[in-house]
Copies of this chain bind each other. A is one copy, B any other.
Amino acid sequence: MENVDYEAVHDELFIMLEDHMIKELSLTLAEMNEFDISEFLGELWETDQTRMAMVFRLLSKEIAADVFANLEVEEQETIINSITDTELGDIIEDLSVDDAVDMMEELPANVVKRVMRTTDAETRALINKYLKYPENSAGSIMTAEYIDLKKYMSVREAIARIRRIGEDKETIYVCYVTSAKRHLEGVVTVKDLLLSDDDEILEDIMDTNVICARTTDDQEDVSEQFSDYDLLAIPVVDKEGCLVGIVTVDDVIDVMEQEATEDIEKMAGITPSDRPYSRTSAIEIWRNRIPWLMFLMLSATFTGMIMTHFEDALAAQVVLAAFIPMLMGTGGNSGSQASTAVIRSLSLGDVEPSDVLKVVWKELRVAFLCGVTLAVINFGKMYLVDRTLLGNAEVTLTVAAIVSLTIVFVVMFAKVVGSTLPIIAEKIGVDPAVMASPLISTITDAVSLMIYFNIARILIPSLR
C-alpha cells in the first residue's frame, strides 16, 4: 500500500484534457478522492475556468457535492454560473448545511439569490436560520445532520435506527439522546452501543454529563474543548437547552488552522483575511497591511522627536548614534519574545489574565538574566573589537559602559511591557494578538532612546 503521487496524476489528467479523452478522464476522476479532485479543479481554474466547469460536470452525482464543498468560493461561483438550476438545486441539497452557509456568506448577493431560488423551501429555511448566527460562533460552523435517539430505545433499536438514517449524517459515531421537546438528555457513542448487550436501554448506558456548546460560543472556545476532552463531535444547544446542531472534529481542525493563522497575522500587524495568500490580490494584501504600517510609521514620530530633543548631545558625541539601531533592535526582539510567549499561552489557556503578577515576576527574572548576559558580551565586544581591534578611539570605556547599561534597562523594560500589554488587552476584551511585536517595538524604541540619552547625560558631564 503506497501513497499515490498526485503530481503525476494531475499531469496525466491535464494530458487527457488536452487530447479530449473525455471518457478516460471521467474514469480516472471516478477513482480519485474528493480532496484531490478539488485540488485538480483549483489548478484548472487558474488557467481555464470554462474547462474547469466542464470537468466538474463529468463528476458523478454522488461525489459532486463533496468536491464542490472543498472548492474555494471563487471556484464555486464559476461552477454555479455554468450549470443549470436543476443541477445547482441537487448540489445544494447534497451539501451539509455548514458548507452551504460558509459559501453563502462569501458569494456575491446576486449569486446567493439564484442559489436560494433553486433550493427547496425546507433547505432554504435552514440556511437562512444558520446565516443568522454571528460569524465565528458555534452556530455558524455547526451542521444539522446528526443522529438523535430516545432514552427508552434499546441498543438493538438504536443500532437499527443508525443503520436506517445514518447515510447522510455528518457523523454516526456520536449520537444524541433528546427528549420529546428536543432537550439534550445524554450522549451515546457507537462504541458504547457495540460494546453493550442488544437489550440494554439507552437510559442506562448513555452519558448524561455531556460537554456541549451554545450557538453563541466563540469557535475558538469550541476547538479548545475538542483538544481538552478529545471529542469527535460536540452538541450545540440554544438558549433553551434544545439541541440545534453538532460540530464535528474535521470542521474544528479547519477552525484551529484558521485561528492560528489569524493570530500569527495579527502578531505581524496584518489584518486577517479568510482567503489563502495565493488567492489574494495585491490590492487586497495592500489593504490588509497598510493600516498598521501607517499607524506604526506615524507613531515613530515620537522616536524622532526624542532624537531631535537630544540633538545637541548627538552632535557632540556622534559615536552614540552608531549604537542606536542595535539598542532598538535588542529592545524590539526582547519585547516580541515576551509578548509572543504570553499571547500563545493565553490562547492555549495556559496563562489566565489573573496570572499577571506571576508572569511579570517571571519575565523580570528572565529579563535580568538576558540583559546582564547581553550587556557583558556587548561590553567585551565594544572594548575588544571596536576599540582595540578596529582602533575606534571614540569608543571610550565610558561609551561602552553607557551602551551596556542601557541594554540592561531596555531589555527589562521591553520584557515587562511585552508580557503585560497582551494580558491587559485580554482583560479589557481586546484581542491580545493585536498588542504584539510591532506595537511593542514602537513603544520600546521610544523608551530605549530616552534611557540611552539620559544615561549618557549622567555619565558624560559635558552633555548636560
Contacts and interface: CB of A to CB of B under 8 A. Distances in A.
A38 to B, nearest CB: 10
B325 A449 contact: yes
Given A285-B362, A344-B265, A323 B304 contact: yes
A19 interface: no
A397 interface: no
A445 B172 CA distance: 57
B326 A277 contact: no
Contact of A278 (B283, B350, B392): B350
A447 B308 CA distance: 23
Contacts of A304: 322-323, 325-326
Given A282-B362, A333-B292, A194 B212 contact: no
B297 A340 contact: no
Classify the interface of chain A: helix, strand, loop or mixed: helix
Task: Pick from A256, A277, A365, A442 the residue with the most CB of B within 10 Å.
Answer: A277
Task: Pick from A276, A307, A407 the residue with the most CB of B within 10 Å.
Answer: A307
B342 A325 contact: no
A455 to B, nearest CB: 17
Contacts of A370: 286, 289-290, 293
Given A286-B370, A321-B321, A332-B332, A381 B301 contact: yes
A297 B210 CA distance: 53
Interface stretch (A104-112, A123-131, A225-233): A225-233
A334 interface: yes
A43 to B, nearest CB: 12
Nearest to A442: B329
Interface in A267-305: 267-270, 276-278, 282-283, 285-286, 289-290, 292-294, 296-298, 300-301, 303-305
A399 to B, nearest CB: 12
Given A191-B172, A297-B329, A336 B268 contact: yes
Contacts of A449: 325
A253 B162 CA distance: 27
Given A232-B249, A277-B345, A173 B195 contact: no
A296 B373 contact: no
Given A278-B345, A282-B362, 8 more contacts: A33-B209, A166-B195, A173-B173, A253-B256, A260-B260, A261-B348, A269-B333, A278-B350
